[in-house]
């Protein structure tokens, strides 16, 4: 894995801040990744007030977008918290995330939490603090996930299944055969 722009780290590896490493696996999605990073930039400010440091690793899954993403990181002034890693091959989503985990565990300050995000997501203010707060309150929980919402804030109803012809008909007719 070839890491390019940025060197996100918390200045003091023994800092009391909780560190959240956001892993984003990208394949030809530099425009979407930029929107996501913009939302994370705002969330970083909000999260810092709660003692949470956010850093991000974008794994370019051998799509050729690394140069564009590096330029965006530099131009946006995100060098202190965003890194771009070039995967040697497109091994898929899990492969890219595993590279991100390895990178996080090899860093000078191992993150307290990992947050996996798809490039087509945007983070609402307070989302990371809410997730960290949930995990802190539920010490036996090993994993937590954020909700999926539409742009208007309504819950996205497809957390466990993708829509199909049958489920769409069922939802439209409201008979409950396919849905619960």
Residue 11: pLDDT band with limits 50, 70, 90 = very low
Tokens 């564009």 locate to 68
pLDDT for 153 equals: 77
Mean pLDDT of the chain: 85
Q: Tens digit of pLDDT for each residue in 45-80?
A: 999 999 999 999 999 999 999 999 999 999 999 999
Please indicate, yes or no, whether residues 118 and 48 belong to a single structural domain of this protein.
yes
Identify the bridge partners of residue 20 per DSSP, sorted by sequence position.
54, 113
User: In terms of domains, do 23 and 103 share one?
Assistant: yes
**pLDDT band at 87; cut points 50, 70, 90:** very high
Say if residue 124 is in the same domain as residue 173: no
Residues 161 and 85 in one domain: no
Dihedral angle sign, alpha carbons of residues 37, 82, 25, 116: negative
Spatial distance between the Cα atoms of 83 and 55, rounded to a whole number of angstroms: 8
Give the three-state DSSP class for 70: helix
Residues 6 or more apart whose Cβ sits within 8 Å of residue 139: none
From residue 17, give the alpha-carbon distance in Å to each of 21, 48, 58, 84, 173. 12, 8, 22, 23, 50
State whether 93 and 175 are in the same domain: no
Query: Are 156 and 88 members of one domain?
Result: no
Assess if residue 142 is contained within a domain: no
Strands 52-60 and 82-86, sheet pairing: parallel
Find the CATH number of the domain harbouring 46.
3.90.550.10
Q: What is the pLDDT of residue 107?
A: 93
105 CB burial (10 A radius; 0-12, 13-18, 19+): exposed
Q: Which two tokens stand for residue 156?
A: 């996205």
Residue 143 lies in a domain: no
Interatomic CA distance for residues 90 and 62, integer angstroms: 5
Owning domain of residue 164 = 148-180
């Amino acid at each position: 894995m070839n890491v390019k722009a940025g060197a996100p780290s918390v200045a003091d590896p023994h800092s009391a801040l909780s560190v959240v490493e956001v892993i984003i696996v990208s394949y030809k999605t530099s425009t979407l990744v930029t929107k996501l990073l913009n939302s994370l930039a705002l969330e970083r400010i909000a999260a810092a007030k709660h003692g949470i440091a956010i850093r991000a690793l974008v794994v370019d899954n051998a799509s050729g977008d690394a140069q564009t993403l590096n330029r965006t990181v530099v131009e946006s002034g995100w060098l202190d918290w965003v890194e771009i890693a070039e995967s040697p091959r497109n091994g898929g989503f899990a492969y890219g995330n595993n590279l991100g985990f390895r990178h996080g565990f090899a860093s000078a300050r191992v993150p307290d939490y990992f947050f996996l995000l798809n490039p087509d997501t945007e983070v609402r203010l307070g989302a990371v603090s809410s997730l960290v707060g949930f995990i802190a309150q539920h010490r036996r929980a090993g994993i937590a996930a954020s909700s999926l919402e539409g742009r208007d804030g309504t819950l996205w109803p497809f957390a466990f299944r993708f829509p199909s012809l049958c489920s769409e008909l069922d939802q439209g007719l409201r008979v409950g055969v396919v849905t619960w």
